Amino acid sequence: MKADAHRQRALRIEASLARLGAADWEMRIEAAMLAGTHWANCALHRHGVAPEAEDIVHTSMLVVNTLRKYAIVEPDLLRDLGEIEELRPLYVRGDVPGGAAAADRAVALLAAIRARAERAGC
Amino acid sequence: MRIASHLEKFQRLASLRARLDPLDDFELWYWTTLTAGTNALNAVMHAVGLTSDDPVFSTIPGVHMVRQADGSYARALRGPGDVSHVGWPPVEGDAPPDLRDLEHALEAIETHRDPCLRGDRAPSAAIVAECDAAFARVRAVLEGRCGRLA
């Protein structure tokens, strides 16, 4: 996808995320993952390190050396996205107590990811 | 994950799904539909005995998050538990017809995942209608196996 299309998709997801409440922790975490991944792709495309035909789906699914390459230009953004992804097994696919607080953390990480992506020109 | 937890999540997600606008909020409406459907799939697979409902949580196939003695969670190799998608990972055994119907319904929903969430396909009323019809089939199978849900 083109960088600007990622930005537009992330903004749509964030607008829907704003309508969710504390009891919707699974989708708040998933929204952070989905929007955060679009911001990450936008930033990587803007940096020129990833072509528009080469999008991340999950950082955990990347070849290690590809993740290392991307982390040269956006280490903090990718670390934050990885932290969101680590919340999913426990609170989205699992029933560990503390889902609402985990979702708050995911949304805070998303805000940091967006700020970094915008600094990259998104 | 335990069947009761899958059912609780299904009900909460189905309620959220009804609060979102299918087109204005398409991305999260769709993802809520898919996540609720996957919980239904796992509940029914546990109920028919194809997979275990051990309280461990799926990551990639064969690897689950397992509670440790100190209360933390760590990755561990495990046999078939919750699946993340239909056929991912594949599960051995014969699925009864109602489970196969649920799987086909979920696959119909999944068809729109990458084009609409990670690609440039615009959501449409036709896609929403297709997902709605498939989700009704998912709910019917789940309720047939696990009882009427609110």
- The tens digit of pLDDT for each residue in A65-91 reads 999 999 999 999 999 999 999 999 999
Containing A5, the helix (H) or strand (E) segment is helix A3-17
> Above pLDDT 90, what percent of chain B?
92
Task: Quick: pLDDT tens for A11-67.
Answer: 999 999 999 999 999 999 999 999 999 999 999 999 999 999 888 888 888 889 999
Distance to chain B for A83, nearest Cα, Å: 14
Q: Is B2 on the interface with A (CB under 8 A)?
A: yes
Say if residue A116's pLDDT is above 80. Answer: yes
Query: What's the pLDDT score for residue B63?
Result: 94
The answer, yes or no, to whether residue B106 has pLDDT greater than 80, is yes
* Residues B45 and B146: beta-carbon distance below 8 Å: no
Distance from CA of A13 to the nearest CA of B (A): 6
This model of the complex carries an ipTM of 0.95
Helix (H, G, I), strand (E, B) or coil at A79: helix
Q: What is the pLDDT of residue A58?
A: 85
Of chain B, the end-to-end C-alpha distance in Å amounts to: 21
Instruction: Tell me if B35 and A9 make a contact (CB, 8 A cut-off).
Output: no
Report the alpha-carbon angle A67-A84-A21, nearest 5. 155
Q: CB A89 to CB B84 under 8 A?
A: no
B108 touches chain A (CB under 8 A): no
Q: What does the alpha-carbon distance between residue B1 and residue B56 come to, in Å, rounded to a whole number?
A: 6
Q: Which of B2, B32, B84 sits opposite A27 (nearest CB)?
A: B32
C-beta separation of B131 from B139 below 8 A: no
A62 backbone dihedrals φ, ψ, rounded to 5°: -75, 150
Any chain B CB within 8 A of the CB of A31? yes
Q: How far is A25 from chain B (nearest CA, A)?
A: 10
Residues of B in contact with A85 (CB under 8 A): none
Q: B interface mutation test: which of A93, A107, A110 has the most B CBs within 10 A?
A: A93
Cα–Cα dist B101/B54, whole Å: 25
Output the DSSP codes for B108-145. HHHTTHHHHHSSSPPP-HHHHHHHHHHHHHHHHHHHHH
Contact B119 A23 (CB under 8 A): no
Full residue range of the structural domain in which residue A51 is found: 3-119
Per the CB < 8 A criterion, the answer to whether B86 and B110 are in contact is: yes
Asked whether residue B150 carries a pLDDT value surpassing 80, the answer given is no
What pTM, to 2 d.p., does this model score? Answer: 0.96
Q: How confident is the model over B37-64, as pLDDT tens digits?
A: 999 999 999 999 999 999 999 998 999 9
Any chain A CB within 8 A of the CB of B3?
A: no
State the burial class of residue B98 (Cβ atoms within 10 Å of its Cβ: 0-12, 13-18, 19+): middle
pLDDT recorded at residue A60: 80
Distance CA A79, CA A77 (A): 5
DSSP-derived letter for residue B55 is S
Q: Parallel, antiparallel, or unpaired for β B73-77 and B57-58?
A: unpaired
For helices A99-119 and A3-17, what crossing angle results, to 10°?
A: 150
pLDDT of residue A59: 81
Give chain A's domain count: 1
Q: At B64, which helix (H) or strand (E)?
A: strand B63-67
**CB-based contact A45:A3 (threshold 8 Å):** yes
